[in-house]
Structure 1
């Protein structure tokens, strides 16, 4: 299992405060991590957490790919919903 956390804020010297970076992040569905002197490890994404709101407020949701049916589901504080769109491109060929 591999877990990555992206720093999504920066300090603005003009405003003298931290600001949330709101641009989209592209991340591959499959990630190959080379090892020295050994075969590479390939990780398949099956969940991601998103923050909604500002730097000092908001909430998190998680989207998870079900091992049972292969569909993506979004979990928040009050509901679980099926994701109607595919979060990742499926026309990319992987090694």
Structure 2
């Protein structure tokens, strides 16, 4: 079965989350920042005295998660969907407001 390999950085009982300096770590592995580049993960691990953990997710599992997220997204009010779409559009264009 086809899958994607990714890497997370673990420090004792927590994982690098990467949102901001106030909440850079999480105890929930599912919320850990997923690196697709092992070198970038190794660099961060050295910086925070952590270790790199290799994980794998199948395309089938990703498709199932995607379907669940689309269902949740479709249930949102239109104004909230518009905000999300605007934000994602800015990310794709590289616009930093």
TM-score range relative to shorter protein? under 0.3
Higher helix proportion, which one?
2
Higher strand proportion, which one?
1
Report the TM-score, using the length of structure 1 for normalisation.
0.26
Report the TM-score, using the length of structure 2 for normalisation.
0.26
Task: Compare relative contact order (CA 8 Å, sep 6+) and give the higher one, 1 or 2.
Answer: 2
State which structure, 1 or 2, has the greater radius of gyration over its C-alpha atoms. 1
